[in-house]
């Protein structure tokens, strides 16, 4: 998600709902990444533990790939909020994104690279056997690919085998990488949306729903399509001053029903017709945007909760830094707990997830209080 201060506008319910979403979406991102990690004996758990297997299935069906598209949507909405995109405004936006996107992107990829070097030290051999056996790629190309394609980086770990997607060495930061590419082309996005309106979104949506699941675009084209579709959707809503509470609110009931139905369908299809899961997931990601926003608006409308400045602010910090924390925590907890059952395996996942969130919230609070200048740089704060 792009780091911005709390949105301020006459249409406060819009910004309140969006800000309320930031922290829960960050929690989901960390949960999905922790649960998607490999652990020793995981195959055994899948074979022997129904609870373990179905929990993983639930995460993939209801939570995986849901947060980042919403972050792209929010970024598009925020980028064009209350402006006419002139040449001067475009330059100003690029200057701001250099601080909020580019600098954090470079820093946290370098920190991930430094962590890999640290884990190669003999003292940490038990935590990183794969790194110990690897022959690093100490070339300029290897270094530069740390920021583009980790499969050809200094440490070519190939952490996403069989995937046509491309990730930097700090994998979750593909969102920032692709968002920067989209931001560079915002004049074209602005012009196309002004000329074609919602029709270009329909076109991109058709590609996303019915082509991408079955076509290997290669070279991160599928990721860029996700970025352009959801960013442009948010931009369309902002440029045309659409009242999101009204526009999305029309679909409150149907989006709730569909989100649950498609999630359950995905879980069933994973057992009996796995080829259909990609299409089901693509549809439910779109439905999930309506569901998440409407749920946030409902919580605000009924005064159940409200957006919190600290939680909204810490969400971006959690997103860009969480991988450096949970990869170590997970390995340590595996060594300490030594899970031998499905329930124990789930405990390791949940404990890693919760501890990661708590530690990062504490780190953010401490930095904001005692090292605000450093936090401003590493977290892209304005």
Does residue 143 sit within a domain? Answer: yes
The token duo for 263 is 């999630």
pLDDT tens across 197-218, in order? 899 999 999 988 887 767 776 6
Determine the Cα angle at 172 with ends 168 and 177, to 5°.
55
315-322: average pLDDT = 97
pLDDT, position 158: 74
**In b/e form, how buried is each residue of 212-237, taking b as 16+ CB within 10 angstroms?**
bbeeeeeebebbbbbbbbbbbbbbbb
pLDDT tens across 55-83, in order? 999 999 999 999 999 999 999 999 998 88
Q: Which residues contact 322 (CB under 8 A, 6 or more apart)?
A: 29, 30, 33, 172, 356, 360
The token duo for 84 is 């006419």
Which string of DSSP letters, residue by residue, matches 9-75?
A: SS-HHHHHHHHHHHHHHHHHHHHHHHHTS--TTHHHHHHH-HHHHHHHHHIIIIITTSHHHHHHHHH
- The CA distance from 246 to 294, in Å, is 10
The token duo for 34 is 């922790």
Does residue 191 sit within a domain? Answer: yes
Does residue 186 sit within a domain? Answer: yes
Which residues constitute the domain of residue 165? 85-242
Does residue 339 sit within a domain? Answer: no
Does residue 15 sit within a domain? Answer: no
pLDDT, position 212: 74
Closest CA to 323 of 101, 117, 173: 173
Does residue 148 sit within a domain? Answer: yes
pLDDT tens across 168-179, in order? 999 999 999 999
Tracing tokens 């971006």 back to the chain, one arrives at: 316
The single-letter DSSP state of residue 156 is -
Which string of DSSP letters, residue by residue, matches 214-278?
A: G----TTHHHHHHHHHHHHHHHHHHHTT--HHHHHHTTHHHHHHHHHHHHHHHHHHHHH-GGGHH
128: pLDDT confidence band, cut at 50, 70 and 90?
A: confident
- The CA distance from 291 to 253, in Å, is 9
Chain CA centroid to CA 361, Å: 18
Does residue 104 sit within a domain? Answer: yes
Reduced to 3 states (helix: H, G, I; strand: E, B; else coil), residue 143 is helix
How many residues comprise the chain? 382
pTM for the complete prediction?
0.93
Does residue 75 sit within a domain? Answer: no
Q: Which residues contact 295 (CB under 8 A, 6 or more apart)?
A: 256
pLDDT tens across 262-316, in order? 999 999 999 999 989 988 999 999 999 999 999 999 999 888 988 889 999 999 9
Q: How many domains does the chain have?
A: 1
């Amino acid at each position: 998600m792009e780091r911005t201060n709390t949105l301020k506008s006459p249409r406060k319910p819009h910004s309140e709902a969006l800000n309320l979403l930031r922290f829960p979406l960050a929690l989901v991102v960390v949960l999905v990444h922790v649960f998607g990690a490999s652990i020793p004996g995981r195959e055994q758990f899948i074979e022997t533990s129904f609870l373990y297997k179905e929990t993983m299935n639930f995460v993939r069906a209801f939570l995986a790939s849901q947060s980042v598209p919403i972050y792209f949507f929010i970024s598009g909405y925020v980028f064009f909020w209350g402006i006419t995109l002139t040449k001067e405004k475009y330059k100003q936006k690029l200057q701001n994104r250099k601080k909020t996107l580019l600098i954090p992107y470079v820093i946290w990829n370098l920190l991930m690279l430094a962590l890999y070097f640290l884990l190669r030290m003999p003292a940490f051999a038990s935590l990183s056997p794969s790194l110990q056996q690897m022959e690093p790629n100490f070339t300029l190309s290897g270094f530069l690919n740390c920021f583009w394609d980790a499969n050809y980086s200094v440490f070519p770990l190939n952490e996403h085998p069989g995937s046509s997607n491309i990730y930097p060495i700090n994998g979750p930061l593909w969102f920032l990488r692709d968002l920067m590419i989209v931001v560079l082309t915002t004049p074209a996005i602005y012009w196309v949306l002004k000329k074609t309106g919602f029709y270009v979104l329909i076109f991109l949506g058709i590609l996303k729903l019915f082509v991408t699941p079955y076509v290997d675009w290669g070279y991160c084209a599928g990721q860029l399509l996700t970025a352009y579709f959801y960013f442009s959707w948010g931009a369309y809503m902002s440029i045309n001053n659409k009242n999101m509470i009204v526009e999305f609110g029309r679909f409150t009931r149907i989006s709730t029903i569909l989100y649950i139905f498609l999630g359950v369908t995905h879980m069933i299809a994973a057992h009996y017709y796995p080829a259909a899961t990609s299409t089901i997931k693509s549809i439910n990601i779109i439905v999930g945007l309506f569901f998440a926003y409407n749920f946030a608006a409902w919580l605000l409308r009924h005064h159940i909760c409200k957006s919190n400045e600290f939680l909204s602010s810490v969400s971006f910090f959690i997103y860009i830094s969480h991988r450096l924390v949970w990869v170590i925590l997970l390995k340590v907890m595996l060594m300490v707990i030594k899970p031998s059952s499905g329930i124990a395996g789930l405990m390791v996942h949940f404990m890693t997830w919760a501890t990661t969130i708590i530690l990062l919230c504490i780190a953010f609070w401490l930095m904001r209080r005692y090292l605000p200048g450093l936090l401003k740089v590493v977290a892209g704060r304005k």
